[in-house]
Amino acid sequence: MQQAYEGYFENGKFYPSGPPMRIQGRRRVVLTVLDDEVPKETRQAQAWREFFDTVNASDEEIPGTFERVDFTQEVDL
């Protein structure tokens, strides 16, 4: 079975853009380095990635619906 992974190299390390790679045993690989540079992740993109990584790693059940919130209304806490 052949598999392809996309990501980028930085400082000698490969960072996949998808889920973690699971490669069993000793496998022959072909590495193609492309000419295009990968832009650095913005702080906002990094924050969203960390948020979704944390949500996906959580074992808590996510409810199907959420209570509506009106952010324009002042509330005493």
Residue 71, exposed/middle/buried by CB under 10 A (0-12, 13-18, 19+)?
Answer: exposed
Please report the pLDDT score of residue 1 as a whole number. 72
Task: Work out the average pLDDT over 24-52.
Answer: 85
Please report the pLDDT score of residue 34 as a whole number. 87
Please report the pLDDT score of residue 61 as a whole number. 84
Q: Smallest Cα–Cα separation from 31: which of 4, 2, 1?
A: 4
Whether the predicted pLDDT of 41 surpasses 80: no
| Confidence band of 5 (pLDDT split at 50, 70, 90) | confident
pTM: 0.42
